Amino acid sequence: MEESFFRQLLSRSANAVLDQHTLAKGADYVRRGRVREVWYERSDDAGTLFGAVQGREPEPYTAAILIGLNGGKPKFDTQCTCPLEGECKHVAAIALKMLGARSEAYNPTPSAAAPRADLGAWKPWFEALGAAPKVSQRKPPADAGLVFGILLRIGDGTLPGMQAQPVWLKPNKRGGLGAPQPVGQFQFGADPWQRLTPRQFEHVARLRMASPHYASSAWYPLSGERDEALLEILLHDYPCFVEKPSRGQVSLGDKRTLEWGWTLSEDGNQKLVPQLEGADSSTRLLRIAHIWYFDASARALGRVDGDAQVIDAALRAPALMPEHAEFVVEHWHKTSQLEGLPKPARASAPETHQAVPTPVLTLRAFPLLTHQNGMPHRYQAGCVRLSFDYDGPRLPFAPVRPRERRLYDGRLLDIVRDRSAEIAAVEQLEALGLIDIDLLPRLPNVPRDVFSDGDFVLEPRRGQLIAAEHLFALAPRLRDHGFRLETDAGFPFELLDEPDDWYAEIEESGNAWFDLSLGIDIGGERVDLLPILRRLLADPGFPLHPRKGEEPDALWLVPIDGRRRVPLPLERLRQLMAPLLEWLQDMPEREIERGSLRLRRSQASVLDELAARSEMPWRGGERLRTELARLRDARTPATEPPGFKATLRAYQRDGLAWLGFLADAGLGGVLADDMGLGKTVQVLAHLLAEKQRGRLDRPALIVAPTSLVSNWREEARRFTPDLSVLVLHGPTRGGLHDAIPHHDLVITTYPLLARDRDALLAHEYALLVLDESQVVKNSKSQAARIVREISARRRLAMTGTPLENHLGELWAQFDAVEPGLLGSDRHFTRFYRTPIEKHNDAERRERLSRRIAPLLLRRRKEDVLADLPEKTFIPRHVELDGAQRELYETLRLAQHERVLAEVQKRGLAQSGIIVLDALLKLRQACCDPRLVKLEGAKRIKESAKLDLLLELTDSLVDEGRRILVFSQFAEMLELIAKALTLRKHKYQMLTGQTPGTQRAELVARFQAGEVPIFLISLKAGGVGLNLTAADTVIHYDPWWNPAAEAQATDRAHRIGQEKPVFVYKLICTGTVEEKILALQERKAELAAAVLEGGSTQSLRFDEDDLAELFAPL
């Protein structure tokens, strides 16, 4: 095939083979010099055009166009080495290069650089208006059924023609017609026309004779007035259908009029467009001899009133650029055929517009069917469409021309594109893994119209696109890289802008509670944050702690509802969750629904933490926040109330101010000063002040250990004589309960709570004071349960040892005075106790310390009593020897074997009683073999520790020392007493068997100097005694609980002590007693960590500790 003939065929058919969109891209490549070379190769009846086109890859793509003659008809084929493999912009580029066509001819909008280049398109248009109408050429084509009917089809183009085909139709089950077969193809014997009636035959013959070819099965073109008359007959006489019978039968419609108007497009061009009377978007215009319409909605085919030539010309009028408006308006007036058409508007010149473009990504979704493991998989795939915002006007990604016209805000702008900025955005997308859809092969099962210029996709694996929800997960990263994000209407998620405002709101609900809500404002819509925070907490994918490499300004896509997502700063979300963590975990469903969290006023310190972390504006709760400010600010020490018969120390006046703050706020608290700092006198001063303020309108109930009843009575009489006091103690108390409302102060004991329960619960109290509140550290004890039943307006606990063994004791005491502060026992164990005690969680420990700090006042002697004499600890070690050592080793081996068997059988956690019993026997062996309940042990008369004690007391008595000897074993005190008697030392003894009436007398005798040695059991005399006459304390045996030992020591080292105090601890070397000292240090560390904000290292008691306790000498 000669190259000239190839060029001629290519020129005629390029628009049919390649669509206008692809040709525009090819023209852009030609203009930019992307076509490196073209060459032609021929054969006898075919020719091939080859070309090298520079794409995005380093190596140029090779494109080819093959034209062959098949039976005299040209056949076209295209190929390319790009991912599309043909019918692409590279093929279009070499075709246009061969034809020598100017690339501007394929651009939808002519370049602004040559504004009058297209006047030639208007000149021949005006000339054609006066020319005679052209007779359309008929075209050949094709084929029969049981019911005679007519199929019609409409061609393509601005004003297409129409073709008709006589067919045989088969009735279907629904009562309609279908399965058309062209007449002449369906055989009924030798004569294919024998089924036709004479009138049908006449109409078929008229169609066939009007065609230049007598081919059967043909589509016959309709043209001329005779065909119009025939079409009206066909529509009247037979069932007629356009395209397919399934779309419904077509009838002859009424003649309609056509109105004309000029529309203004986004590029500033005007276009002459028709509007058919009673038509919608599905209506098409066509031409036979005159203009007809087809209304697809009404299934009507009819004539259009008007001059066919003028209508045809008007429909084919080119777009009117502003530069040509003057020319067209001028000629419009001079052209008589256009008198019935509106003239265009005059246009102003475009303004040059330069701006830095903002890349915009529109997230889109579409259904996609793929196959995984041979099974069909349908899902919503996602892509992004890139465009550029030039400070208002929006431009698509490609094809790119140096300048673009856009009508924006009533002005026509000539926008200068910033090509380098646009390319940088594309490169940024490619760096994130997104691919231009033009570079991918056509995906099966995806319609062509799904994608457009500027679409980018992620391809996790070949032939499969990323799902829409996974693409959406990239939204924060895309936004971080400077892209503005939008979502298409069909996208499953909508990305909202970041909040306009954050807020925290407080609503006070009576005296005990307040409601807290957090929220954000997004475009005027209020969104509650608490339900969102709870969902995030339950989401295993949410990072509660910063991940490695996390950016400081990282965002998290937070779901607002089923579709909408808002990007919120990740660190800010964590800052909001941290103070509320324990409540969010157990937030009731009803609170989730209403978007607020109900908290007790005693928990209001969380507001301070929220304010410090999140910097949110607060709404409401002014009274509550004022109370918080008072708590935060340094308190002015209170002065003694009038009538108080003592002078308080500075720290005691501060304590009085703290107690007053609690009363003003209606809160309970724990006064946890060290033993000996005068907690009782502070509470008495507070009670007197409350009476003078009028708030002691009901009695205050004091619950104390039996040993402290007389102390409370005497100190109230001494310091607050204006307070009327009722003591409920002893066998004569029976008739006194009715007098409770008539007194200011009612004193009872823990043992009497159960006996007097009904009588005590019959009254209401202004204040409930629990002295030595560690007594109710077991929340399941009878006393603890009754304490919670007592009706009191406020509650106060007093203890020098709020935490002795484990954190559960602390919870029990706080729950007794301020229920709900630390949640339920189960909640506290899960959220605080287990993480702190078992996992050494420093963050939880600090959180607990902050939570209780406002309602806990704890001062240590060394911090507030600079004038208190020095306290010196002196450990004295002694070696076991002889029969006592053998007894210890025998017991150790037997008890260790017993414990191991029990642990293996039941586990360490369930073997506590056996372990403690075994350790008790070893401790008794250290103290004195006679304590061990074995016949052989009782025969051993040696006791290394007793000998050491006697030597020590001999020398100390000779020095004039006053001595307190503590032991947890009352039986050991009896043995010590016998030994002291043999040595002629004067002593006295206080144990749990000592009557309460004798305690005060024993204390008075020792304080008066009548006896030098006071033997005291740890349980009976560890609290409530003021023994400042002593200057020496001896702990005969160590106890697990260091707080109990400290309480005992502080019987002497307290206010009123004027001499240095020496504290001796007697320890048997290498025995279980040394291991107890180590455990004491760990327990003391736990108390310091929680109550005073210290650190913790190892708080667990495990099998290694067990092995250490039973280690050999």
DSSP 35-54: EEEEEEEE-SSEEEEEEEE-
Angle at 317 between CA 315 and CA 321, to 5 degrees: 135
Per-residue pLDDT at 1016 = 93
The position carrying tokens 């139709």 is: 169
Per-residue pLDDT at 1096 = 39
* Residue 765 counted as domain residue: yes
Q: Is the same domain home to 28 and 98?
A: yes
Per-residue pLDDT at 212 = 55
pLDDT, mean of each 10-residue run, the chain (1113 residues) = 82 79 85 86 81 84 83 77 83 87 43 46 65 44 64 89 90 85 61 76 80 59 88 93 91 91 87 86 90 92 89 86 86 81 85 92 88 78 92 83 85 90 91 86 75 86 81 84 87 83 78 77 83 84 84 82 84 83 71 70 73 72 70 75 91 92 88 85 95 94 86 90 92 87 94 92 95 89 92 92 84 89 85 86 84 86 72 84 90 90 82 84 92 84 90 87 92 95 93 83 90 89 77 88 78 77 89 80 62 44 70 77
CA atoms within 13 A on the CB side of 997: 3
Q: Is the same domain home to 934 and 969?
A: yes
Phi, psi of 845 (to 5 degrees): -65, -45
Per-residue pLDDT at 741 = 94
Residue where a domain stops, chosen among 442, 469, 495:
495
Per-residue pLDDT at 752 = 93
Q: Which one-letter DSSP state was computed for residue 278?
A: T
* Residue 960 counted as domain residue: yes
DSSP per residue, 139-208: -------SEEEEEEEE-SSSS--EEEEEEEEEE-TTS-EEEEEETTTS-SSS-TTTTS-HHHHHHHHHHH
* Residue 302 counted as domain residue: no
Q: Is the same domain home to 456 and 559?
A: no
Q: Is the same domain home to 619 and 648?
A: no
Per-residue pLDDT at 473 = 84
Q: Is the same domain home to 574 and 472?
A: no
Secondary structure string (H, E, C) spanning 689-707: HHHHCCCCCCCEEEEECHH
- Rg for the chain (alpha carbons), in Å? 50
Per-residue pLDDT at 300 = 93
Per-residue pLDDT at 439 = 81
Q: What is the number of domains present in the chain?
A: 6
> Quick check: helix, strand or coil at residue 392?
coil
Contacts 24+ apart (CB under 8 A), 225-231: 225/289, 225/290, 227/288, 227/289, 228/288, 228/289, 228/290, 228/292, 228/303, 230/203, 230/206, 231/162, 231/164, 231/288, 231/301
Q: Is the same domain home to 491 and 505?
A: no
CATH of the domain at 643: 3.40.50.10810
Q: Which one-letter DSSP state was computed for residue 402?
A: S
Secondary structure string (H, E, C) spanning 505-531: EEEEECCCEEEEEEEEEECCEEEECHH
Residue where a domain stops, chosen among 225, 252, 279:
252
Q: Is the same domain home to 445 and 463?
A: yes
**Between β-strands 291-295 and 300-305, what pairing exists: parallel, antiparallel or unpaired?**
antiparallel
Per-residue pLDDT at 966 = 93
Q: Is the same domain home to 935 and 1010?
A: yes
Residues in contact with 312: Cβ distance below 8 Å, sequence separation at least 6, in sequence order: 159, 287, 291
* Residue 471 counted as domain residue: yes
* Residue 141 counted as domain residue: yes
CATH of the domain at 889: 3.40.50.300
- The side-by-side arrangement of strands in the sheet containing 494-495 is 494-495, 564-569, 555-559
Per-residue pLDDT at 401 = 77
Q: Is the same domain home to 68 and 32?
A: yes
Q: Is the same domain home to 182 and 214?
A: yes
Residue 1018 sits in which domain range? 871-1109
* Residue 272 counted as domain residue: no
> Quick check: helix, strand or coil at residue 437?
helix
Q: Is the same domain home to 905 and 1000?
A: yes
Per-residue pLDDT at 339 = 80
Angle at 851 between CA 847 and CA 852, to 5 degrees: 125
* Residue 760 counted as domain residue: yes
Q: Find out whether 665 and 623 touch, Cβ atoms under 8 Å.
A: no
Residue where a domain stops, chosen among 585, 609, 631:
631
* Residue 270 counted as domain residue: no
Per-residue pLDDT at 630 = 67
Q: Which one-letter DSSP state was computed for residue 636?
A: P
Give the residue from 207, 300, 297, 314 showing the smallest Cα distance to 258.
Answer: 314
Peptide bond into 399 cis (omega under 30): yes
pTM listed for this prediction: 0.52
Q: Is the same domain home to 491 and 507?
A: no
